[in-house]
Amino acid sequence: VLAHDSEIAGITVLEDAHSFGLIEALESAHIRPGRIPLIKGFTPNYPGRLEVLVRVLELALHNRKRVLQEGLVKAAKEMGRYVDAIILGYGLCGNALQKPDELLADASVPIFIPMDEDHPVDDCVGLLIGGRDCYYAEQCEVSGTFFMIPGWTHHWRRIFDREFGNVSVDMAKRLFEHYERSLLIPTPVMGKEEMRNNIEEFNQLFGFRTEIRQGTMDILDKTWQSIKDYLVENIG
């Protein structure tokens, strides 16, 4: 989304271990974002024009609802001092974000969350697969489906990390006993062949086959346009 919006005057990324992949993706699209080690180091460079400040949060926040909520509250409050609005790359995530405006009220700026018709998307899979109906259709087709979005093909080994999944290989095999397939959801961020290569070991470990359903950026694009419309109407 950021790489293809010509109205963006500048992009600044909080540089840490979590944002490496994003920075790499932007640079591969011939965009050199500004980098800052701390949020308080952000200074607008293009007054009156559209600038984007990006913070990538720790993957392990997804592990527990309370931890995710606390992490988002802290990050939004810090970001709110430097921006006019915040867009989240999250869905409901186990209802952790059922009421984002209330949860993140301390940010003191409007919060935009990806919407699927009249409700937030269920999670990052719902965001990229095209919404709840598409998500449910694939679950009905094969109930034992492990959904693989681009980022997760890089991070699937985190299942076994103590601070994230903390699941042994044997336990994971029992949990996934009735699963049959990895469903790749490629997007412009990562193509199907790269994703397929990333999960080859995963599929061998659990005996899954690979199937593909093309992802879509439509929901994210609409959310991005909504925040831009807000900024034009209210900030100028």
Secondary structure (DSSP) of 115-134? EETTEE-SSHHHHHHTSHHH
Structure-model confidence comparison of residues 63 and 91, the more confident one: 91
**Most confidently modeled range among 51-55, 122-126, 187-191:** 51-55
Q: Where are the domains of the chain?
A: 2-122+217-234, 131-212
How far apart are the C-alpha atoms of 182 and 36, rounded to whole Å?
A: 37
pLDDT band at 62 (very low <50, low <70, confident <90, very high): low
Residues 45 and 148 sit within 8 Å (Cβ to Cβ): no
Give 93's DSSP letter: T
- Residue range 170-205, pLDDT digits in tens: 888 999 999 999 999 999 889 999 999 999 999 999
Cross-strand bridge partners of residue 52: 11
The residue written with tokens 């950026």 in the block is: 217
How far apart are the C-alpha atoms of 217 and 211, rounded to whole Å?
A: 19
- Residue range 127-180, pLDDT digits in tens: 999 999 999 999 999 999 999 999 889 888 877 776 666 678 888 899 999 999
How far apart are the C-alpha atoms of 111 and 121, rounded to whole Å?
A: 15
Q: Looking at residues 73-81, what average pLDDT do you find?
A: 92
SS (H, E, C) 6-56: CCEEEEEEECCCCCHHHHHHHHHCCCCCEEECCHHHCCCCCCCCEEEEECC
N residues, the chain: 236
Mean pLDDT computed over every residue of the chain: 89
Q: What is the value of pTM for the model shown?
A: 0.87
How far apart are the C-alpha atoms of 105 and 72, rounded to whole Å?
A: 11
**pLDDT at 91 exceeding the cut of 90:** no
Dihedral sign from CA coordinates of 57, 19, 165, 137: positive
